Amino acid sequence: MSGAPDEFDLIAQLFAPLSASYPGAFNLTDDAALMDVPPGRQVVLTMDAMVAGVHFFADDPADLIARKLVRVNLSDLAAKGAVPFAVMLAAAFPQGIEAEWLRAFADGLGQDVAEFSIALIGGDTVSTPGPLTLSLTAFGHVPTGRALLRSGARAGDLIWLSGSLGDSALGLRARQGQLTDLNPLHRDFLIHRYLLPQPRVALGPALIGVASAGMDISDGLVQDLGHLARQSGLAAEIRLADLPLSVAARTATENNNSWLACILGGGDDYEIAFTADPAQTQRIRQLADDSGVALSAIGQMTAGQGVAVMDRQGKAMEVAQRGWRHFSNAGEQP
Ligand code: ADP
Ligand code: MG
C-alpha cells in the first residue's frame, strides 16, 4: 500500500478492529449493524460534527482530533445519564490525505474506544475537495423513562457543575498565542483541556434518581444554562464566587478581568450542569468523593426566566459575552 490506503483498506485494516467487541457490527463487513438493547433500557442517541478550521485546527494531532470527536459526543450522553456503548463515524477526508495521518487518527479512535469500553459499529467514508469533516453518532442506554432531560428542573433546585470551568476557552486563547505571561505549566494544562476534553461518563449514570435535569456545557455556561432554564420554564441564578476554577484558570483571570467572559461564555468545557433538590446535597457530595470528579453548587433555579450572574456582593452582573452562538459568530473559533 503506497500513499493513502483506499477506502476498503482503511475500513478493513484501521477501523474494523475497533468493532471487534460488538458482534452486531459484523467486523464492518456488512451494509449495516444490528443493535440489541438490554431489557428495560432505552437507547440515547446524539451526533456532533467537527470541521477543520472551525472546530479544530487542521494541524492538531490526528489522534487528538479523533479522541475529541469521541469525547464531545460521550459528554452529551453523560449529560442524559446514559452509559455509552457504540459510535458510528461519517468521515469526509480531503483528497490526498496521508496514510500516516489516517493511522494516527485510527489509533486515537482506538484508544478512546478502549478507554470508554465502546465499539465503532459502522459509518461511511467519503473524499471531499473541502476541509476534513467528521461526524460521529454515539449510542448509550438509560433505564427506560429515566434519562436526565433539560426540562426537569424545579424552582428551588440547586444548580451543580462538574469539574472546572473556562479551562478550554482559555486554552484556545493560549494556543492562539495569547496569555503569554502565564507560566508554561498552566498554559500546557489549559491547552490540554482544550485538545482533550474529559467526558463525565461515570458521573452521568450515577446522577439518575439524584438530578432533576442535566445538560452538558459546550457553548458557554451562561448560554447553555439559559437553554436548561427555558426548557424547565424557570430562571437560573448563579454566583460568580462559587464557579469552580482550576488553579491555571484562576491565575489567568486573577489580574485580568477581561478573561471573565471566557469563564462565563467560553465554549468547549464539556462539563455537566445538573439541577437537584437541596435534599440530595449529601448524596451529591458523596458522589463527588466516590467518583473523584469535583461537583460544585453554583446557584439555584427560581421562578422567572433567563440567567442571572451574581457578583461577590450579590448584585446581578452584566454579561458581555453570552457564549458562542453558532453561525452568527462565524470565524471567532479557530
Ligand atoms: P456502502 O457501500 O453501503 O456505503 P461501505 O462500503 O461504505 O458501504 O461500508 C462497508 C462497511 O464499513 C459498513 O459496515 C460501514 O458501516 C462500514 N464503514 C464505512 N465507513 C466507515 C467509517 N468511517 N467508520 C466505521 N465504519 C465504516
Ligand atoms: Mg452497502
Q: What is the structure's pLDDT at 57?
A: 92
312, pLDDT greater than 90? no
Please name which ligand lies nearest the alpha carbon of 89: 1
Q: Is 290 marked within a binding site?
A: no
**Distance between Cα 184 and ligand 1 center (Å):** 43
329, pLDDT greater than 90? no
Mean predicted confidence (pLDDT) in 211-227: 96
- Please name the residues in contact with 188: beta carbons below 8 A apart, sequence gap of 6 or more: none
Query: For residues 132 and 53, is the Cβ–Cβ distance under 8 A?
Result: no
Q: Whose CA is nearest to atom 24 of ligand 1?
A: 123
40, pLDDT greater than 80? yes
Q: Which atom of ligand 1 is nearest to the CA of 8?
A: 6
- Give the DSSP letter of residue 318: P
**Distance between Cα 27 and ligand 2 center (Å):** 14
**Distance between Cα 65 and ligand 1 center (Å):** 20
Pairwise CA distance, residues 274 & 147, whole Å? 12
User: What's the full length of the chain, in residues?
Assistant: 334
Please name which ligand lies nearest the alpha carbon of 125: 1
- Please name the residues in contact with 229: beta carbons below 8 A apart, sequence gap of 6 or more: 153, 235, 236, 301, 305, 306, 307
Q: Which overall architecture, per CATH, does domain 7-143 show? A: 2-Layer Sandwich (3.30)
pLDDT in tens, 147-193: 999 999 999 999 999 999 999 999 999 999 999 999 999 999 999 99
Helix residue ranges, H only, 34-81: 62-79
Query: For residues 226 and 207, is the Cβ–Cβ distance under 8 A?
Result: no
3-state class (DSSP) for residue 160: strand
Query: For residues 65 and 136, is the Cβ–Cβ distance under 8 A?
Result: no
| Site residues for ligand 1, CB cut-off 6 Å | 11, 15, 28, 30-31, 89, 91, 120, 122-125
Average pLDDT, the chain: 92
**Distance between Cα 28 and ligand 2 center (Å):** 11
Query: For residues 215 and 224, is the Cβ–Cβ distance under 8 A?
Result: yes
Lowest mean pLDDT among 1-10, 34-43, 88-97, 179-188: 1-10
Name which of 221, 242, 19, 6 is nearest 110 in CA terms.
19
Pocket test for ligand 1, best of 89, 125, 133, 137 (most atoms within 8 A of CB): 125
Cell numbers describing residue 90 = 461519517
Q: Is 152 marked within a binding site?
A: no
Q: What is the structure's pLDDT at 333?
A: 41
Q: Is 224 marked within a binding site?
A: no
* Residue carrying C-alpha cell 500516516: 100
Going 202 to 205 to 210 to 214, the CA torsion angle's sign is positive
Pocket test for ligand 1, best of 124, 126, 127, 135 (most atoms within 8 A of CB): 124
Query: For residues 81 and 75, is the Cβ–Cβ distance under 8 A?
Result: no
Whole-Å CA distances, 215 to 61, 97, 175, 240: 28, 36, 27, 20
Pairwise CA distance, residues 6 & 28, whole Å? 15
Q: What is the structure's pLDDT at 330?
A: 36
Query: For residues 84 and 139, is the Cβ–Cβ distance under 8 A?
Result: yes
Mean predicted confidence (pLDDT) in 87-97: 96
Q: What is the structure's pLDDT at 4?
A: 64
**Distance between Cα 286 and ligand 2 center (Å):** 49
Q: Which atom of ligand 1 is nearest to the CA of 32?
A: 14
**Distance between Cα 30 and ligand 2 center (Å):** 7
Label residue 239 by pLDDT band (50, 70, 90): very high
Q: Whose CA is nearest to atom 22 of ligand 1?
A: 123
**Distance between Cα 239 and ligand 2 center (Å):** 53
Q: Is 219 marked within a binding site?
A: yes
Using alpha carbons only, how large is the chain's radius of gyration in Å? 20
Q: Whose CA is nearest to atom 5 of ligand 1?
A: 124
- Identity of the amino acid at 18: L
Q: Is 230 marked within a binding site?
A: no
294, pLDDT greater than 90? yes
203, pLDDT greater than 90? yes
CATH fold of 150-310 reads: Phosphoribosyl-aminoimidazole Synthetase; Chain A, domain 2 (3.90.650)
CA distance between the termini of the chain: 34
Q: What is the structure's pLDDT at 175?
A: 92
Pairwise CA distance, residues 88 & 73, whole Å? 11
- Please name the residues in contact with 43: beta carbons below 8 A apart, sequence gap of 6 or more: 35, 37, 139, 140, 141
| Domain boundaries defined on the chain | 7-143, 150-310
323, pLDDT greater than 50? no
* Residue carrying C-alpha cell 442535566: 214
Whole-Å CA distances, 18 to 86, 104, 122: 10, 14, 10
Cell numbers describing residue 157 = 433546585
Pairwise CA distance, residues 35 & 296, whole Å? 37
Q: What is the pTM of this model?
A: 0.92
DSSP-assigned beta bridge partners for residue 300 = 158, 237
Pairwise CA distance, residues 99 & 250, whole Å? 41
Whole-Å CA distances, 55 to 65, 227, 280, 326: 10, 21, 37, 11
Q: Whose CA is nearest to atom 3 of ligand 1?
A: 31
